A and B are shown apart, each in its own frame.
Chain A
């Protein structure tokens, strides 16, 4: 053991109680920091997983039309939306061409055409507004988690029934509908009959209370759009690649292409603000422990002035003295980080087992946590910086002491 470390340890033991207080502060600070990060990040990643499972990573929608070629599309039954100087022609007129084009992007793992519209669901003499989604089941399960969202009935029954229907759980509850019930959907004044084969729950209110899935041909017939699709939902190899890829796809195919990050920007911002603000709040615990540490070290320097002078006289350099005090900070922060991280892991584990029913933006029956080593690294870095800064000033003060004048001052 180096002499500086030995002396640091002994000096620390002289102020045991004050040091333990600072240590406890750092342990708590680090643990709370990690637990709150694990929890906010847990909710965020669970939200992302949920939303990707519902709406996919990338959506290729309306065709982009420059102003000059506008005349060519007049006369078609597509409406024209104007946004800035760019014109959007709603929907995908030739989904098969587009699917073919997407095949040239190796990063695209799956793509599925969807037709979307509005309809009224009629059952038990009641009416309810829904958004029918006409899907191609075989490919749609590759761009969503529909298969795992089913809570009643089965996709198998749906796939065998051309007029099958998958209902959101909130719709089923509101309309008091069960598997096997027969309902009417009315989109264009010509009600069509469907049979409920499955009920899904995403946990996202907005979806569960208005979206119903039916087969693409049935959807086309219901919505009276014999060709085309509303959009193509696609997945890519990694979620973080979506924005760059979306830009390339948009350029290549001339359709407005939206990555999930852009689509869910508001929620993602809410989560990141939450995470940052909790990090800042919790950091104050560490910060205050740092102040306590500073205080204690200053007391030790004052306390040990004579000892420092005698150490200097027997051959310890200014750097040795400075190291003795930096090491005291180092020892405390090292213990604080180790115990803090252990407490954090225990706390995170316990938290993930606390039952809590969450519905609205996702469905969970317990706290959701994310185990991320970077949370631990982040907490450790904050603690180390705070304590090292807090130790620096007392240690510099100790190193600057003049042994001659101290010994003179205290001897005669």
Chain B
């Protein structure tokens, strides 16, 4: 069984004059333990697709299966629970909560899931920060970290609940070349090691080509 399957996705955005057919029938399958890139020109619908897959948005037509579960009829709370347990997000901007330390930021998804004790959460978050190379900066607030470091904390946070799928929208878009390389390597290594799938939107053709599979998008469809 595939991790995620979508069929014939359509999405219109905007109202009236600005209404635009952003996705025009997209379908594909994501398998565990593999890395996928979505490449395409600006405005081709990459982010729109990613938000639909992440259940942050609802398609106008088409189905999204997470495992064997069809998601179009789920309530907002059920979709939220699926995100919490099965998905991890990394965005172009890291969105760390700045009143929380790196460690506490990583613990936030675990607190919501509520399956681990306080100590276990702490230990696991600590391990994740070690994995992203920030073992010595767990007590820093977001504002006391560099852009690349903040993005690595965001990656650790996305991995907090061991999600099957990591969704990343231009995770390296805001970073310099070295940091971009490092963050990408980290994401793809972790995905391969832990059997998690990575779906990444990227403008960087070099990084995209290092993924197991590349979806090329144009005008709301995936090119064959």
Contacts and interface: CB of A to CB of B under 8 A. Distances in A.
Interface in A275-332: 306-307, 309-320
Contacts of B99: 10-11, 13-14
A404 B91 contact: no
A306 B113 CA distance: 21
A354 interface: no
A3 interface: yes
Contacts of B77: 317-319
Interface stretch (B66-74, B82-90, B126-134, B192-200): B82-90
A411 interface: yes
B89 A314 contact: yes
A227 interface: no
Contacts of B57: 404
Contacts of B80: 312, 315-318
A317 B57 CA distance: 15
A411 B157 CA distance: 18
A317 B54 CA distance: 15
Interface residues of A, number: 28
Given A11-B99, A319-B77, A404-B56, A314 B109 contact: yes
A6 interface: yes
Contact of A315 (B47, B84, B95, B97): B84
B197 to A, nearest CB: 17
A3 B56 contact: no
A245 interface: no
Interface in B1-57: 42, 47, 51, 54, 56-57
Contacts of B92: 411-412
A314 B47 contact: no
A313 B54 contact: yes
B211 interface: no
B56 A407 contact: yes
Interface in B93-113: 93, 95, 97-100, 108-109, 111-113
A316 to B, nearest CB: 6
B76 A411 contact: no
B89 A411 contact: no
A408 interface: yes
A378 interface: no
Q: How large is the interface on B (under 10, 10 to 19, 20 to 34, 35 or more residues)?
A: 20 to 34
A313 B100 contact: no
Most buried by B among A316, A404, A410: A404
A6 B121 CA distance: 15
Contact of B95 (A7, A10, A307, A408): A307
A317 B91 CA distance: 20
A403 interface: yes
B170 A411 contact: yes
Looking at chain A's contact residues, the main secondary structure is: helix
B81 interface: yes
A10 B95 CA distance: 16
B157 A314 contact: yes
B95 A3 contact: no
Which residue, A7, A14, A314, has most C-beta atoms of chain B within 10 A?
A314
Contacts of A314: 83-84, 88-89, 108-109, 112, 157, 160
A137 B89 CA distance: 91
B169 interface: yes
A407 B93 CA distance: 9
Contacts of B169: 407, 411
Contacts of B109: 314-315
Contacts of B88: 314
A310 B111 contact: no
A404 B95 contact: no
B47 A320 contact: no
A318 B93 contact: no
Nearest to A314: B109
Given A307-B97, A319-B77, A407-B95, 16 more contacts: A14-B98, A14-B99, A307-B95, A309-B95, A312-B80, A313-B83, A314-B108, A315-B80, A315-B109, A317-B80, A318-B80, A403-B56, A404-B51, A407-B169, A411-B91, A412-B170
19 contacts: A3-B108, A7-B97, A11-B99, A13-B99, A307-B97, A310-B97, A311-B108, A313-B56, A314-B88, A314-B109, A314-B112, A315-B84, A315-B112, A317-B80, A319-B77, A407-B51, A407-B56, A407-B95, A411-B92
Interface of A: 3, 6-7, 10-11, 13-14, 306-307, 309-320, 403-404, 407-408, 410-412
What are the 4 tightest A-B residue pairs by CB atom distance, in nearest-first order?
Answer: A315-B84, A10-B99, A404-B56, A3-B111
